[in-house]
Structure formats: C-alpha cells, structure tokens
Chain A
C-alpha cells in the first residue's frame, strides 16, 4: 500500500471524526472535554513549532495565551460588543496582538541559550502574571474582566467553541506542516542540531528563531482568546497559568518533539486524562500530583515520544521482513 495514500486517508478520517464528534456526543460534559482537547492540540502544536523545531525549550508560552485572552476581553469591553459568533472574528486579531508581544519577549529571551533560555522564559512568564495583577487599567487586576455572554442554548453552547478551537488547531497543524517542509523549517532544525554551524553556513539564526517564536506566539494567542471567550471571564491566574506552560510541553514531549503529528497525539491522550483527573480528584490538587507523576513516566520510558518511537519500530519491522 502506498504510504502517502495511507497517511492522507488517516488525516481525512481524523478530520471527519473531529467534525462529527459534537453531533454524535451531545452531552455538554463530553463536548467540554472535547473543546479543551482540540484547543490544546492547537496550543501544543504552536509550542512545538518553536520549541520542538529549534530545541529551545520555552516554558513561558502562557504569556501569549494570556495576552490573547486579555486582548479579546479588552476589545469586547471597549467596543461594547454583544455575545455571538461575531466575537470569534477578533480571535485572529488577538493572535496578532500576542505576536506583537512575542517580538520584544523573543528578542530578549533569545539572547540566551539552553538552560538560561528556559529560566528566562519562566521569569518573563511571572513578570506577565504580576503585570496582570497590577496593571489595573488594562486588566482590572485580580477582580478580572467579563466577556459578553453568548446567546446560545446550553445543549449546543460548547459546539461553537469546539469548532472555533478546531479551526485554530487545524491552522496550527497546517502551519507546522508547511514550516516543516520549507527551507525556513530546515533552518530551524539545523539550529536545533548545531546552531553555530548553521550560522557559519549563512543561516540568519537570530531572525529565523525570532520568526518562529513570533509565529508560535500568534497561534498560542488565538487559542488564549478562544479560551477566554469560552470561560466568559479572565483572571490573572487562569490567563497566565504556569500549568499551561508545562502542559503544552508535556503534550509535545509525549507525542514526539519536533514532529507535526506528535503534539496532536499528545493532546489527544493527555487533555481528556487531565480533565478526567481534575473532575475525579478535585481535593487538594491531587490531579496535579498525578499529572506530574505522568510527566516523569513519559520522560523515563518514552524520552523520544510516541511518533519517533513508532517510526523506529516500523523501520525495524520492515527491516526484519525484508531480510
């Protein structure tokens, strides 16, 4: 069988399942989990687009998630928009806003490498969280901001958000795929393997890294805006959430760092689990402890992630068969 054909069929089938899901499963509790799963597919793909491809482990993508959330909250409040599908038109604009935020953040953080870069992104994340608490005029501090209430009935309420998130996720995957196959993407992977050598071959490493960082910020910001509208309100600890930083990274790790399908598979496995754990073990953050334990299991037993391990396995099977 032609592998390209198989791959295309799998993609079409997965897309059809994703589109059909809310028509088959009508329980709002289920569609809520589906919404978050699809949203995180987008966010994890966006994270992977920069960190997976370049090897720079950013643990501050919540900066862009939160920026997108606060942007859409401000727009809807200042323009006095009423709830409805029209709000979603502001999601790409929120993404662009997060992209603009990413320019100085990236410019600053990308002066460093490796462990220093990780620490700097964490530090910048906390600066933004503090700003959200203290910049009263833009964020209304810890009192938070309200977004307009959509006029949809409870039974199909989640569906609108689900499809908005699905569009964002498909966009993130398509962008990741396009980048992976471009000369731009090849330069990112070369930076991951040997940055100085890439520079010596004429790759403008600074520019290329910043471009990927900003692109990742745009896509993450779009997810954040959808999330804010779904919740109906924005508070500093939810918009700028440290768990978000770890979750997107863990999803990409589990699925396979630097692969296109890895973050999608990671989100598909982890987000329902996380939602389930949160619902089952609400007491004293037990769900977080279990989730942290899972992180260690992934690092310990599947350091390469699912997709690269599966590829290696299939190669071995093929080699054994051809012998």
Chain B
C-alpha cells in the first residue's frame, strides 16, 4: 500500500469536547480523496492537526513514510502539505502575483528565484484563470476568485498533497465546475488531494475514495457509489429520517434540507 498521507489514531480534545477520537485514514498517492461528515464531525480540526495548526493529543501523522506529527505549519508546508482554508485566506493588500511569491523559508536562493519567478507565478495564475489580474490587489476580488488565488498560492509551493477545505463553499455553480476541472487537471499531473466538502454532488463526482467522519472518527470509507449507499453514512447524515424514503440520494436530500 502506498499511502502518501497516513493518519493513525489521532485524538484531539478542546477542554471537555473530544473533537477527534482515535481517527485514522490514509490517502493514496495520486488519488483524490474526499473527507465528508456532518457539521462538527471534526473535518477541519483534522486538517488543522495534519498541517500543524493544532497539536494532536495522541496519534501520528505520516507523510510518505516520514512522521510529521505536530510539525509547525511552516514545516508541513515545506514538506509538501498544502492547504486552503474554509474561510478563504489571502493577503488582501498584496497583488495576486505577490500573494503567490510570499513563499517559504529554508529554500536555497536559486531555487526560490525559480519557484517564485514572475513567469512561473503568472503561469499559475493563468492556470486558475486570473493571469490578467496579476497586478490587482487580492482584497478587491470576489469570494470565489479569492478561493482560486488561495489555490494558486498553495500550488506555488509545489505541494505533494493538497488539503482543500470546502473549495466549493459559497461560490456560484459555474465556478464550482471550473474548480473541479482544475483539481482533476492537477491530479493528472501527479498532485494528491484531500477534499472536505458539503456539496455531495461535487464530492461524489470528483473523488476516487471517500472517508466519512462522525463524532471525531471515521465511520466508513470506500468508493463514492459504495459510500452513498452505506446505511451508517445515511444514518450519520440524516439521522432517523432515513426510513421515510430509502431511494433518496444523500446529496439531493442534503440540498433539500438546506
């Protein structure tokens, strides 16, 4: 088994609340994995632990065979774990180009020149469709466009695995399709993805494998088609409402209950 990112028995408590409870999953190299679950099931906390924004109380995070448990965010980033945030974070008063060039420490100067050159960063902005706005301040963009800038910023760091926290949240359907295409294109180029998302249609269409969390632990995983029929998953998402209508797809059901 070639797990690029291997999370084993991670536990994290905030006071009396156990946000993550002996949670384990693995992301295969070259795959697009989904991480789904109801609100408060611990998805974002898991992202925070993997990227070093939060410390795990127990358990380990292994990247390509090297333990990175509780490494600070800058180090996990340098080792190839990129992430975007649920509430999109860009540097509002820097231009898009500058946003991509902020970059990491510990890279030799020659390598940094190449990594953060205007040409390469403009190309990355072109990849997300924002090349003509390279000299515009990021704060002036729309929310969806900022998500794209954030994605490009992560890509500028040459990540091996990218953790996306709700890439389709709060943006228009056209842009969702566009983001999905970009993710697939990157995946073809060898980038591994782990995606947290509530838009079921998006997740099921995009991911090779889906992990389902509830109450801070993984309750099921498998291919999208398998997972969406798993009674435990339906139960976690819909509570007792399941017996009313077995035929309904969880994605549609979720849309309907919004």
Contacts and interface: CB of A to CB of B under 8 A. Distances in A.
Q: Which of A183, A196, A201, A204 has the most CB of B within 10 A?
A: A201
Contacts of B89: 194, 197
Contacts of A193: 91-94
Nearest to B113: A183
A202 interface: yes
Nearest to A205: B74
B258 to A, nearest CB: 30
B153 A200 contact: no
Contacts, number: 68
Contacts of A201: 74, 77, 102-104, 153, 157
B198 interface: no
Contacts of A197: 85, 89-91
B149 to A, nearest CB: 12
Q: Which of B74, B75, B85 has the most CB of A within 10 A?
A: B74
B105 A203 contact: yes
Nearest to B93: A193
Given A193-B93, A194-B91, A197-B91, A186 B74 contact: no
Given A194-B89, A194-B91, A197-B91, A202 B101 contact: no
A303 to B, nearest CB: 14
B70 to A, nearest CB: 15
Contacts of B116: 183
A114 interface: no
A48 interface: no
Nearest to B51: A200
B51 A190 contact: no
A204 B157 CA distance: 15
Contact of A203 (B53, B85, B90, B102): B102
A187 B78 CA distance: 16
A200 B76 CA distance: 8
Contact of B77 (A189, A192, A194, A200): A200
B120 to A, nearest CB: 14
B73 interface: yes
A260 to B, nearest CB: 15
A199 B74 contact: yes
B102 A187 contact: yes
Contacts of B93: 189, 192-193
B94 A190 contact: yes
A198 interface: yes
A186 B105 contact: no
Contact of B102 (A190, A196, A204, A207): A190
Interface residues of B, number: 27
Q: Which of A193, A198, A199 has the most CB of B within 10 A?
A: A193
A190 B51 CA distance: 19
Interface in A168-190: 183, 186-187, 189-190
B12 interface: no
A198 B93 CA distance: 13
B83 interface: yes
Contact of A186 (B75, B90, B102, B104): B102
B215 interface: no
Given A183-B112, A183-B116, A189-B98, A202 B104 contact: yes
B15 interface: no
Contact of A190 (B72, B75, B91): B91
Interface string B182-198: 00000000000000000
Contact of A202 (B53, B91, B92, B105): B105
Contacts of B170: none
Contacts of A199: 72-74
B102 to A, nearest CB: 4
Contacts of A189: 91, 93-94, 98
Contacts of A190: 91, 94, 102
Contacts of B102: 186-187, 190, 198, 201, 203
Interface in B59-96: 72-75, 77-78, 83, 85, 89-94
20 contacts: A186-B94, A187-B102, A189-B94, A189-B98, A190-B91, A190-B94, A192-B93, A194-B89, A196-B73, A197-B85, A198-B91, A198-B102, A199-B72, A200-B74, A201-B74, A201-B104, A201-B153, A203-B74, A203-B104, A204-B74
Interface of A: 183, 186-187, 189-190, 192-194, 196-204, 207
Given A196-B53, A200-B74, 9 more contacts: A187-B102, A198-B91, A199-B74, A200-B53, A201-B157, A203-B102, A203-B103, A203-B104, A204-B105
Interface of B: 51, 53, 72-75, 77-78, 83, 85, 89-94, 98, 101-106, 112, 116, 153, 157
